[in-house]
């Protein structure tokens, strides 16, 4: 397996992989992602060297963005509010590889990468109803902090997200 920064030529495969993830989520009644989020962010993530991929030969296994800020950060009671942190975002595992340990491998890669940037914590947000993701993060050593980040999708729909963190 090859872990690396995503490149522009990866974009079509990344978007296709996320369309399959979104379809799988919808089959499980998780209406969290759509054509706009997260897909519209990937090009900018690549340009800013914050999107990482795990591949096996030519197949994309998993993707995540590692950001230095997050607009919801101020809504959480992080353990050390002012500590250097990176934020795991747009984390997805190829639907054909779910429940095969790829998510755990990528969480470890995210921890290592965040630490290489001098982060003391790796933090993330997860929508309250995304139980498979919550289980993965808790299994990976992340702990839930107090607070709820409300993500307004439109006038009628709001998602509630929990904050999780791990000390590196």
Question: Looking at the 3D structure of the chain, how many domains does it have?
Answer: 1
Query: What is the domain-level CATH number for residue 114?
Result: 3.40.630.30
Which pLDDT band, with edges at 50, 70 and 90, does 60 fall under? very high
75, 55, 44: which is closest to 3 by C-alpha?
55
Contact 103, 21 (CB under 8 A): no
- The model carries a pTM of 0.94
Task: Write 21-27 long-range contacts (CB < 8 A, 24+).
Answer: 21/92, 21/93, 21/94, 21/95, 23/95, 24/95, 24/98
Mean pLDDT of 25-35: 86
Three-state DSSP class for residue 132 = helix
Looking at residues 47-73, what average pLDDT do you find? 96
Residue 168: per-residue pLDDT: 98
Q: What is the pLDDT of residue 30?
A: 84
* Alpha-carbon gap, residue 144 to 127, rounded angstroms: 12
CB-CB neighbours of 148 under 10 Å:
15
Q: What is the pLDDT of residue 93?
A: 96
Question: Would you state the pLDDT for residue 157?
Answer: 80
Whether residue 160 contacts residue 120, with contact meaning beta carbons closer than 8 Å, is answered with: no
pLDDT in tens, 93-137: 999 998 899 999 999 999 999 999 999 999 999 999 999 999 999
Please tell me the predicted confidence (pLDDT) of residue 82.
Answer: 93
The domain containing residue 75 runs over which residues?
2-167
Instruction: Answer yes or no: is pLDDT of 152 > 80.
Output: yes
Considering the chain, what percentage of its residues have pLDDT values greater than 70?
100
């Amino acid at each position: 397996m090859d872990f690396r920064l995503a490149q522009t030529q990866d974009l079509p495969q990344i978007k296709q992989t996320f369309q399959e993830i979104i379809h799988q989520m919808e089959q499980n009644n998780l209406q969290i992602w759509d054509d706009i989020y997260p897909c519209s962010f990937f090009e900018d993530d690549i340009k800013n060297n914050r999107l990482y991929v795990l591949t096996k030969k030519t197949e994309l296994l998993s993707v995540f963005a590692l950001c230095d800020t997050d607009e919801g950060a101020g809504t959480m009671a992080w353990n050390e509010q002012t500590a250097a942190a990176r934020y795991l975002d747009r984390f997805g595992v190829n639907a054909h590889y779910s429940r095969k340990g790829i998510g755990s491998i990528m969480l470890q890669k995210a921890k290592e990468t965040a630490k290489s940037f001098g982060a003391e914590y790796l933090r993330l947000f997860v929508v309250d109803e995304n139980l498979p993701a919550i289980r993965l993060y808790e299994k990976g050593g992340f702990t839930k902090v107090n607070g709820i980040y409300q993500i307004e999708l439109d006038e009628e729909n709001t998602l509630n997200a929990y904050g999780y963190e791990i000390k590196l």
